[in-house]
Structures are given as C-alpha cells and as structure tokens.
Chain A
C-alpha cells in the first residue's frame, strides 16, 4: 500500500502542473470549480457574448489540444493522449487542484468514447476531430418524462423511412442543450421487442427541423437543462451508432476510463478549507453563529468524510491500474460523494446562522458571496442524476453483494 507517487508518476504530475501554471488563462485562475456546472464554465464561455470569455475558452482549448489533453483518455490515433488510467487520474487531480476547467464537455467524456468503441470509421472521422477542436458541443438526450431511473422504458419513437429515421417524442433534463450543437439520444426503434432490445443510439444536429429545445429553470433559478421535443425530426440512418435496436448496449458500454470522482474530493476539500479559513478570520467572525460549537464537530466530520472519499477514489484507480475493472466500488463513490456534498452544504450553511439564508452573491451581508446557501440548493440533484442514491444502493446490493433482486 502506498499513498504517494512513484517517480514516474511524480514526473508526470510535475509536467501537468507546470503546463497548467503557464497556460491556464487568467479567467480560470483561482476558480473554485465546484464540479461540472452546466450553466457556466467553459461550455458557456465558448458561446458567450463576451469576447474575452470566448477568447479564454478558445485559448485554453488550444493549449490543451497541443498536448492531446482535450481528451486525455482517448487513444492517440484519435487525437487523444492515450493516457493510462493512472495518468488520467493524476491529470484530473491536478486540473481539479488548480480549478482549471476541463474542455469538450460530454463530447469528450461520453460521446467520443462511445464512438471510439462502437462507431464506424466514417462516424469517427466526421465527429471526433470536431469535438477535439471545440467546433461541436454535445448534449445527452436520454431521459424522458416517463423514463428516468428506468431509462429502458423510454418511448421516443424513431421510424425508419428509407435512408432516414423519423423521430417523434420528448426528452427532458437535457443539460446544456442550449449550448450544444449536436445531441446524442436513445430512441425506440422496435416497440415489439423486449424493452432493452428495441432501442437505438442516434446522433443528430440540434438545429434539425422539428426539434425544439425549451428551457427548464431549476430551483436555484438557473438554467442548466431543457425539454427537447421531436416532431417528425429526420435523421440519416448513417447517424446510428452500432446496430439498430442494439442502442441500449451502446449507451451502457462500460468505458474503462478513469471514473474515480477524484475531482469531487478535491473540490470538497478546497471548499472546506476556504470555509474554515474564513470562519476564523476577522471578516468571517461577524457572520458566525454565537453557539459555534454546534458546527465545530460537524466540520471535523466533513473533513474526515472527505478523507474517506479520497480513499474511495484512490481505490478505484488502484483497481484499474492493476488491470481490473471496478464493480460495486464505482457506485459507492457516486453515492458517497453526492451524499457528502449535501451534508457539506448543510454544515456550511449552519455555520452562518440567519446569514445562512441570504441568497444574493453581491450583498455585503452574504457570507462568502452566498456560496453555501447556493450549494445547499445546487447539491440537491446530485443524489438524483447519473443514477440516484437508491439506484446505486440497489446496484451495490445486487451486483456487488449478490443479494437477490426484488
């Protein structure tokens, strides 16, 4: 057992660190990057009205692409850096430590890897370069009003008509569709087959006629996601990835890229450190509740729990590094991280007493720009998306521990 780097690992870490230090645009310096934020960050900057923001997004993507680090996990032949899982882990760690935004969004993290495994050569040639050079941003259209956790019950229908599919139906919660150029989606191509066997995986231009994206405002008054309606939307059959009716398996491909969640652990640790420093500072004291001892031990607990999360992340990467595939361990990380996030937000707001309900970022009365109350709301969906906590526990119990399915 070893919690430290080997020499090779620390050399690579130094490279990444130097690179970030010299190339990260000012706009992203000192960013406290609370994980992936669909309403801001690089995704938003590249479409921003502000030329400075657009410039920063472009510069950063350009710098990363020199190293193949826009998609560090992709094989080199497709323009990635072909990093090993351990290198990816270190890369992600350093990016998160510095608050540097990752680039390429779901194109890099989800669609690209799927194409690399299941796509035809034509599909790869058409789409991968445009993800890497930042020309095309992708959104994920999986969920429907009637198909959330039980995604395979999805109803959006695609009917083959010659060289095209004609799509009708509705998707919901489509994050970032308002910044995206293309959408990847799961649709039902065979309603008579068992539910997992009649689904296909399609890519389409988000400006296709008949496709409408409507904003959904979240409970924090942000606009992270959308409803997406399909009315006779036509998609060439060449945009189907993998075989028709086999889309479920394409969508569910276990991609053995680094998925330890180390970035969460790093951002939690940084957030807590900033909070503690502010709490004991002169500026912080004026907001701190008088009976501070009720929060003190909670803060210690959150720090201990963050350490536990770090170890869970280290465990995933050590499993992968030794050539094995994590099983229930990845579900433990997702569940634990999202639930810790909510506990952290609760503890942080608690520290401020009444000031903990002030929402305005720019009010002199709002401690730390109301970051904690906002996180208290913002962390709510983390136990829902990407597999809810209940679904993760089901997976741990059945797939991990072999308990009989209900």
Chain B
C-alpha cells in the first residue's frame, strides 16, 4: 500500500510542470481559444520531443512504453496548465484504440506516427443522440473484407478538424465495428462546433466515407470498453489537475484580497470553502488514481469497471463544486474574461460531461451494486 508517486513519476511530473509553465502559459491558452486550429503545431512538436504523445506506446512502435498510471500523472499536469489541442484525442482516441484493437500491421503503420506527433487521430464515438452506450451507435457501416464504407453523423468529435485519421464506431450487419478513416476524402465533412470551453468539438458527416476495419467486425463494442475506460480516467486526471490549480488560485487570492480591513481568507465563510475545496480535490485525485492503478495493473474486470465508474461519478461533481467555489471566492473579478479563474470554470464543464457526467456513472455504480 503506497499512495505516493514513484521516482520516475515524480520526474515526469516535475519535468511536465516546468515545461508547461514555460511553453503553455495562460496567454497561450487564451490565444488558442481564438485560433482556428485550436493548437500550436510548434508546441505539439515540442511535446512529441518530450516523448509525450508516445508515452503509452511501446518502444518497438516508436514510443516510450510507460504505463497508464504514468500517463495520468502527465495528464494531471495538462489539466493544471489547460493545455489546448488534440493530445487526448490522438493519444487516447487514436493510440490507445489501435493498441487495444489494431492488427500488427495497423500498429506498425500508425503508432510510430502518433508517437512522433506526425499523425493526429481522434475517436468518433458519439452521435446526435449524445449517448455513451452501445445503442447510441447508429452510423451505418458496410463491411467488405477489410474495407468499411460509412454513412451517418458523428457529433462532439474532438479535434476532427485537424485530425488526419478518425477511429469511427459504427453499426454493421454484424453489430458495432470500429474502423480507421482518413479525413482527407470527399465523404468526410467536418464542421467545428462552438463550446463552453472553446475547445474544438466537431460535427463529422460521413457520406460513403471509406476506411479500414479496426478489430473484428461486430466486436466493436467489446473493443471500445477498455478504450472508453482509459479515456474516462484520462478525463478525470485532467479534471484533477484543473481543479487543483483552480483551488490554488483561489487560496492565493483569498490571502491577498483585502476587504473590511483584512484578507478575505481570514473570514471563516471563505476558509471553510477552501477546506471543502481541498477535500474535493484530494478526493478526486485518489479515486482517479485508484481507477488508473486498477487499469494499469490489470485488476479483475468487475473491479476495474466499478473503479472507473466511481472515479468519473465523483470527479465530475467534486471538481464542479471546486470551480464553483473558485468563482465565488473571487467576487466580481472572477466573472471577467481577463481574469484567469474562469478559464478553469469553463473547461471543467467540458470534462465533466465527457464520457458521461456524475448521474450517468452513478447509475452504472448502482447497477453494479445490485440495486
């Protein structure tokens, strides 16, 4: 039993913190909100040099071969710095999908490009029904041998506008199937949507789009399960870093802001909010890492599933409480565009909803508890 970071994880964390403080400052986050691509190819390249896009990818495919816990340590830092861009899309949506479901040939074809940052991937899972379960997948797939033709609309697809490839979940006569499609074809039409977090989620209209099968036809939903689990925990890790930073900003502000002749942080009403914030942030951190550990060490399926659902149920709501307190502690200044705390508040909502909010996961927990 040990809830501390390993030496290697400490190194990774410190290196990431230092790098992101320099290369991804607040101004960069703001610039990317207004940017059409939503990320800086230059920073993207520097991150790849750090080995981050390839962190999870085995060395034989050009990656670093770290485990999923290490990835969560890194993503916590991404949340803290609010790193914009297609990192999770490419690494979790593309890299993990191919590692879980790809043939050797597909791994050799795509993983080195993902690791080097030369290729950008995204996962096209949800549709206008906005559901996360199997029946939400209605996009039509026609499978012939290894070739797949797709018709339908995928919605809320992160970073599809800059992705080279999409991993698409669709429904064939055999059930759900996954496929890899290139975005530079006539049958793929991508339109970015405006979101609260000013990230880039897109509508993707597929009109006889063609691609290659990823995993067996009909096995798509089973293949998606570990992919969705990792992605869900990755969102939790991002939320942990985000809420930790929001909390630190609020505590610092409470120490400095003077009203009634004293720092507002000396008022109990503010102090108790801060105490609740640290409880929620810490609670989020450990329940997230428990799920990440469960995945990384291959604990029994039912335990991992429960751990993941519990983590997202908790993190979704606890981090929302944190950023709400963060706003309240700041008074009027927090409501302005210029002040930084709102950046966290808006992004929390995106991640809260991604892969299901607290209500969605609580329901799954209830089912597993036999209720």
Contacts and interface: CB of A to CB of B under 8 A. Distances in A.
Partners in one complex: yes
B1 A3 contact: yes
Given A304-B313, A308-B314, 16 more contacts: A1-B3, A3-B290, A6-B1, A276-B369, A297-B359, A304-B314, A305-B314, A311-B286, A312-B282, A315-B286, A335-B279, A390-B272, A403-B255, A403-B263, A404-B265, A404-B266
23 contacts: A3-B290, A4-B297, A9-B1, A276-B371, A280-B370, A297-B366, A301-B313, A307-B310, A308-B283, A308-B287, A308-B314, A312-B282, A314-B3, A315-B282, A318-B4, A322-B4, A392-B275, A396-B275, A397-B271, A397-B274, A400-B278, A402-B251, A406-B267
Contacts of A231: none
A388 to B, nearest CB: 12
Interface residues of B, number: 46
Rank and list the top 10 A-B pairs by shortest CB-CB distance, nearest first: A397-B271, A311-B286, A396-B275, A393-B275, A300-B366, A403-B265, A300-B365, A404-B266, A318-B3, A308-B283
Given A307-B310, A332-B278, A332-B279, A86 B1 contact: yes
B276 interface: yes
Interface in B127-174: none
A3 B297 CA distance: 10
Given A304-B314, A311-B290, A404 B369 contact: no
Given A1-B3, A1-B4, A311-B3, A406 B266 contact: yes
Contacts of A397: 265, 271-272, 274-275
Contacts of B274: 396-397, 401, 403
Contacts of A86: 1
Nearest to B248: A401
A317 interface: yes
B271 A398 contact: yes
A171 B172 CA distance: 77
Given A304-B313, A314-B286, A405 B4 contact: no
Interface of B: 1-6, 9, 69, 251, 254-255, 262-263, 265-268, 270-272, 274-276, 278-279, 282-283, 286-287, 289-290, 292-294, 297, 310, 313-314, 359, 362-363, 365-366, 369-371
Interface in A298-342: 299-301, 303-305, 307-308, 311-312, 314-315, 317-318, 321-322, 328-329, 332, 335-336
Contacts, number: 149
Contact of A404 (B262, B282, B290, B365): B262
Nearest to A273: B369
Given A403-B255, A403-B265, A403-B271, A304 B1 contact: no
Contacts of B289: 1
A394 interface: yes
A327 to B, nearest CB: 11
A307 B286 CA distance: 9
B272 A1 contact: no
A406 B263 CA distance: 9
Interface of A: 1-6, 9, 86, 89, 276-277, 279-280, 296-297, 299-301, 303-305, 307-308, 311-312, 314-315, 317-318, 321-322, 328-329, 332, 335-336, 390, 392-394, 396-398, 400-406
A396 B278 contact: yes
A296 B362 CA distance: 9
Contact of B1 (A5, A307, A398, A402): A5
A406 B264 CA distance: 9
Nearest to B69: A1
Nearest to B5: A1
A279 B4 contact: no
Contact of B278 (A315, A321, A401): A401
